[in-house]
Amino acid sequence: MTKIQKSGEQYRITIPIEIMDLTRWTKGDELIFVPYITEPDRALSPDTPILLKRIEKAKKDKRQRETNIVSINKNSERRGEK
């Protein structure tokens, strides 16, 4: 069963492990809530279905950034730039 809890101005939703396994979501994933509108002329209501979509984040670890900087510096040296 999914539960909604409130703490101050934040809400926390508990998602059943079966859904986590099926969707391959992990702890720490960020989700976006999207209303599933079937009739565009009707207003949103408590009965409107909601879709959950994981937000993909672009991550670069420190080693990747350092590698990119080294590559840029080496290319600059080859062209005679400093």
Q: Taking residues 48-75, what's their average pLDDT?
A: 67
- Residue 70 reports pLDDT greater than 80: no
pLDDT digits 0-9 by tens, 44-60? 999 899 998 998 776 65
Residues 49 and 35 sit within 8 Å (Cβ to Cβ)? yes
**pLDDT number for residue 13:** 86
pLDDT digits 0-9 by tens, 13-42? 888 999 999 999 988 888 888 999 988 899
- Residue 11 reports pLDDT greater than 60: yes
16 burial (CB, 10 Å; 0-12 / 13-18 / 19+) is exposed
Q: How far is CA 27 from CA 15, 24, 53, in A?
A: 11, 10, 14
